[in-house]
């Protein structure tokens, strides 16, 4: 593992052991510190995920580890930005906030977020992302094989049309000293956050990764209802005037945090 303790890579997962079995073996855990943030609800998946971390040299961080961290800090205002791991709901926005918070507390300066279905194309990619962070606040990679679309986006794509797209946090590097906003816990949380953080500009794209294929239309009714609010917010941001979008988004979020 690299001796440089300024860098860390977070992997986000929730009850997806089958994906981890395919993606974790491809991570260069001998070169960097990887922390797997486990939001799994089911105990059997928590156990299997922890065993995979041992096998592939990742540091496991689950519900128990989170409790220890939060108790040691005793900061009541964290409840606005973070929720307990392992609950029966979608919490990716809160989990990204928690990873940012932990990274700052641990003294890291450069971090990379990886979703659990991202396959790293080459070991050098992560090194190149960290190198590019010396001159860029945010560095992302092009996601191939499975487009990072909502259900509506996949429908448009099937009809040879396109909705707006933006940089995803599926593979996103960042400099911690440049961050001033927190993630909101709705669909498109990563697009919205980066839109605010980087003054409407996408991250610098460097290299490419693969996202594992899945059926985007499975349980499509529930998904499209869940995704709708985040889609509306992001479309509003794309069409907003400069210097107006921050106030509009702040107003729209009153009462929306779960």
What is the tens place of the pLDDT at every residue in 194-234? 999 998 899 999 999 999 887 777 777 777 777 777 777 87
Sequence-distant (6+) residues with CB within 8 A of 176 are: 100, 103, 104, 108, 109, 110, 111
Asked whether 47 and 54 are in contact (CB, 8 A), the reply is no
The answer to whether position 205 is within a domain reads: yes
pLDDT at 149: 66
pLDDT(164) > 90: no
Q: What is the mean pLDDT of the chain?
A: 86
The answer to whether position 97 is within a domain reads: yes
Sequence-distant (6+) residues with CB within 8 A of 96 are: 12, 113, 169, 183, 189, 190, 193
pLDDT(1) > 50: no
Q: What is the pTM of this model?
A: 0.87
The answer to whether position 173 is within a domain reads: yes
Q: What's the domain count of the chain?
A: 1
The answer to whether position 2 is within a domain reads: no
- The CATH number of whichever domain residue 247 belongs to comes to 3.90.550.10
Average pLDDT over residues 24-52: 97
What is the domain range of residue 236? 7-252
pLDDT tens digits for 61-111? 999 999 999 888 877 778 889 999 999 889 999 999 999 999 999 999 999
Average pLDDT over residues 168-179: 94
CA distances to 9, 30, 66 from 101, in Å: 14, 25, 11
pLDDT at 153: 64
The answer to whether position 12 is within a domain reads: yes
The answer to whether position 155 is within a domain reads: yes
Token pair 């995979």 in the structure block, residue: 52
Let me know the angle formed at the C-alpha of 206 by 22 and 19, rounded to the nearest 5 degrees.
Answer: 15
pLDDT at 165: 67
Q: 191 vs 151, which has greater pLDDT?
A: 191
pLDDT(18) > 90: yes
Average pLDDT over residues 153-178: 77
The answer to whether position 193 is within a domain reads: yes
Measured N-to-C along each axis, helices 245-252 and 189-197 cross at an angle, to the nearest 10 degrees, of: 140
The answer to whether position 1 is within a domain reads: no
**Which of 145, 141, 116 is CA-nearest to residue 21?**
116
pLDDT at 231: 78
């Amino acid at each position: 593992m690299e001796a440089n303790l300024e860098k860390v890579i977070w992997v986000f997962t929730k009850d997806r052991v089958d994906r981890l079995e395919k993606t974790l073996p491809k991570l260069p855990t001998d070169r960097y510190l990887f922390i797997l943030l486990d939001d799994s609800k089911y105990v059997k998946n928590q156990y299997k995920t922890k065993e995979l971390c041992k096998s592939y040299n990742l540091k496991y961080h689950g519900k128990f580890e989170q409790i220890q961290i939060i108790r040691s800090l005793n900061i009541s205002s964290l409840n606005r930005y973070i929720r307990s791991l392992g609950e029966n709901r979608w919490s990716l926005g809160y989990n990204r906030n928690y990873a940012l918070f932990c990274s700052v507390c641990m003294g890291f300066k450069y971090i990379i977020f990886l979703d659990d279905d991202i396959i790293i194309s080459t070991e050098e990619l992560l090194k190149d992302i960290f190198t590019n962070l010396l001159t860029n606040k945010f560095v992302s990679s092009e996601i191939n094989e499975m487009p990072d679309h909502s259900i509506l986006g996949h429908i448009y794509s099937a009809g040879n049309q396109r909705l707006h797209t933006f940089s995803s946090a599926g593979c996103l590097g960042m400099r911690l000293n440049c961050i001033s906003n927190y993630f909101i816990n709705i669909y498109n949380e990563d697009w919205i956050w980066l839109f605010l953080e980087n003054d409407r500009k996408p991250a610098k794209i460097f290299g490419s990764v693969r996202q594992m294929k899945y059926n985007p239309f499975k349980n499509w009714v529930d998904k499209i209802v869940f995704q709708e609010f985040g889609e509306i917010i992001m479309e509003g941001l794309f069409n907003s005037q400069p210097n107006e979008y921050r106030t509009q988004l702040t107003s729209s979020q009153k009462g929306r945090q779960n």
